[in-house]
Every structure is written in structure tokens, then in C-alpha cells.
Structure 1
Amino acid sequence: MTDQPEFRGLDDVETVGVVGAGTMGNGIAQVSATAGYDVLMRDVEAEFVERGLDAIDDSLSRLVRKETLTEEEADAARDRITGTTDLGDLADADLVVEAAPEEMDLKRDVFADLEAVTDEDVVLATNTSTLSVTTIAAATDRAPLVLGLHFMNPVPVMKGVELVVGERTDDAVVAFAHEFAESLGKETWEADDKPGFVSNRILMPWINEGVRAYDEGVATKEDIDRGMKLGTNVPMGPLELADHIGLDVCLHATETLHEELGDRYTPAYLLKRKVKAGDLGKKTGRGFYEYED
């Protein structure tokens, strides 16, 4: 772009707004607070906010037990996080990361509302894993200040953040996003705003083919996962990883890619059947494997 928009640089960012207190939202809030930022975490219901704060408490406690954080550091991080149900509270944010459910209409509504309550020089980022950043940005009048900040799950553990560059995202905003993610202790890579970006464009067909191989009797689920771990040096095989992510999340992402890119992303029948049965993975206690807790 020829005209660089005015926006707040990293030195001006003291408060990070997070829209959504679910798994991704509370993880983003936690790592931001741990890095020293004040955080405003908003969700639509007080119950959701409290659940998100409880998840942060549990995660910080685990990090203390693992001696990754001290008690003092964990307490300080928790004290920096404020939960709210009022989107207007994000008027105090210097940067906002949206982590609402993967529904385009919902995200566009959120961004339109964020534009109304935040200052015009505030960068707005979306944590979308498959949806078009350009389409989301078009709900605002500040498309050059909108980009994708796609954190990996679980956010406090995974080092990677995928930066997704929309059609009108300014280069300086991309550079700012790299700096911000790195200030959280993350490492980054860039992707153009094309379906699935880098991560899910490759990851989802890998998971989907693992499900299909299991359904077709190529090997047991244990041997599919073991073979991929030993053969490709990944920490989890495709079926175990699908359970960890959530089978409903995997199916939704694969369906989105199928719609955009065609038959090579057709969801495996067994994946659809599992989701219909409510066997969504670790979060429901049963997916391809069973979980006691």
C-alpha cells in the first residue's frame, strides 16, 4: 500500500482485548498476561467468562507445578486479567484479538462492533483457523489494520503463531504482529489469505486421511498413530490429535476447505459419524479413544 495507516505500535500496547473466553480465547489471554500485558477478556455470558478464568487458573497452576512459572509470576499474570461481558469495556484496549466461534457472520458482526467501540488506530486481529481474513476485515473501515493471528492449541504450550495477511493488510501491521507474537515468546510464520492458510490446509487432510485409513481397516488406531509418530517424528498421531483438537472442530475446518477447494478435502465418513454421535474427543470423554477425565 502507498499510504501507511496510523496505528499503535508495540510500545503503545499496554492492554490487550480478547473476544471469547473459550479454549483459544482464555489461552491467548493467559499468554498475554504472562508476558506483562493487562488483558480484558470478554464473552457474551458471565458463566463463559468465569469458566475461562477458571481454565486460566488451572493452566497457571500446572505451569507452577512444572516449575515453568513461579507462584509469584502466576499470581501476577492472573491479576492482570479482567473478565467482562461488556464489549464496550474493550474501548480501553490497545490491540484486540478475536477468538469467537468459527462462523463468518458472527465474526463480521464482532468486528463491526469492535470498530464502533475501539479507537481508530487499534489493530484488530482474528484467530480464525480457516475463514477469510479479507472478508472479516471488510466488515470494518480499517481493513489495513486487520489481520489473522492464528494461535495454535493449546496456546500456553504451542510456540507457533500463524500470521494471515488479508488483501488490504498493511505491511507495517504485519511487522507489528510479528513483534507482538514474539513478545509472547512465540515464533511466527506468514500465510496469504487463502483457504486453510498453511497450517490447516495441510493438517486437516492429514487428520482426515488418518481417519479414513482407520475406517478402511489399514491398521488399528493405535498403530496408525504410532506409525506416524515413529515415522515422521510428530508428537501425536492423526487420531490422537483429532481427539485433542475436537472432532467437531476438525470436521468444521475440513468442510470449510471442502467447500473452497473441492473433493480432495471431502470429510471422512467416520469423522462425520463420530460428530453426529457426540463423540468429540477429550472434551466429551470419548472420540477415537476414551478418556477418564
Structure 2
Amino acid sequence: MTRPYRSVLYIPAANARAMEKAQSLPTDAIIFDLEDAVSPSEKPAARDALGAALESGYGARARIVRINGMDSEWGADDARACAGPLAGKAEAVLIPKVNSAADLDVVAGIIPDTPLWAMMETPLAMLNAAEIAAHPRLAGMVMGTNDLAKELNSRFRADRLPMQAGLGLCVLAAKAHGKVIIDGVYNAFKDDEGLRIECEQGRDMGFDGKTLIHPAQLAVANASFAPTEAEVELARRQIAAFDEAMAQGKGVAVVDGKIVENLHIETARKTLDKARAIAEMAG
């Protein structure tokens, strides 16, 4: 059963209280951040404290560690820690500002087993999205839309038109190579309606979920990236109708006046699979 990634919450690895609170939050995954959310003076201590935190009770929530960039003074030590004292305590290591597959090779050479995720946040990353997604150690991609907007020197628009090309390239690359793809953050954490609109846009594009900066955003993201009751019911009716059509020697079925073929059944089964995975996490 596929693990859901509807909500992926950033938690500063230097904030022990936030990490403890995250154990009870309804988030599908947690990014324990050693990079942007931790001040330079706190980075070594945060790295040392992270091991104990990762051993705590996070249940079915995916645990992802975002290390500092390999071009920083902390990146190599972070990577060595993920291969040493942190090994086996997180499902993945998230690498910031990945520009090419070669950037993944550097970290893969230090961390031998843990799956790697890539932050996609530069124009060069957008242009190299296909080769990054094809890397054999890569399991997921996360959009860094704030950094991408800075690099593009684009203006903020609610429809995110300036970064649609980059978002689309990354979704295509991830889907082509079977990798998880998570949308970027929404900065106005008190604006539920704006968040909902952006989540719906991301879901329509094909993103698996959204990165979040505040627990208040969890409910909106979880609802937006979960199958609705109507979608689940339609999936069940499509499968039932198609099974009946096959039993009668027919290659297609008709549901609500629309043709249902095998490709629709694959989508329907994925919908039910995701709904079951979400129910199991909630239970």
C-alpha cells in the first residue's frame, strides 16, 4: 500500500518542543530541518539532538531529515551523521538546492543506504529535473518555491503563473520515474482559503502533497490531497461496472454516461488504495 504524503510539515531540528509536539500532529510526514530553520550557532547542537528525537514515537509519520547544503560548512558533517549516528532513524535525507544528478552523487557517496530526496528550488534544477528524477537513489522531490521565486525574480501571483513551467517540469519528471513529488510551502499560514486554493491547484497538477510551515495548515492540506467521498464512491462503481463488463466479455463499461476502460480502473484502484492508507494512518 502506498504511503500518503498529503501533508509534509517542516519542524526545526533545534526546537525540542516542536519536535515533541509533532508526535501527535495529523501530518503524513515530517521534515526535520537542519538547514533554513536552524541558526548557524545552533546547527551542531541540533544535529546532535536530532538522533534522540528520531527515536521518539512518531508512529506512521514519515521522518525526513533535511541537511545543510554540501557547499556549506555544515553539509558534510550532516551527511556523515546521517550515515552514522542517525542511520536507520529516518526514511530519507533531503538535500537542498540540488541542481543536477551529480549533486546527488556526492551525498550518495557519503550515505550508502538511506533514500535521498531533492529540494527543487533553482532554475537549473528545473532544467535538469528529468536527470535528477532518474537518479537510482532518489525517492522524492520537494519544490522550494520561495527560493525559486527569488532566483526567477518573479512577482507573487496567487495563480503562481511565473513558476508554472518549473512546477510542471518537476511533476513530469517525478511521474516519469515513479518518484514522490511534494509542492512548495504557502507562506500565509493564517490564510486558510488561499492555502486551499493553492493545494487544489497542486493536486490538480499531480503533486502528491504539500510542504507546510505551521500545524494550522494540516487540515486543509490533508483534505485537499485526500480522495473525496465522491471520488471513492465513483472508483468503487467504476471497478464494479468494469468487472461486470469483463465477465460479459466486453472490453469497456459505462458509468454515469462515460466510457470506463482499463486505464480508468488503474486510477480507481489507486484512489481506493490511497483512501485505505489514509484510513490506516488515522486509525
Same fold (TM over 0.5): no
Bigger RCO (CA 8 Å, 6+ sep): 2
Compute the TM-score of the two structures, normalised by the length of structure 2. 0.32
Compute the TM-score of the two structures, normalised by the length of structure 1. 0.31
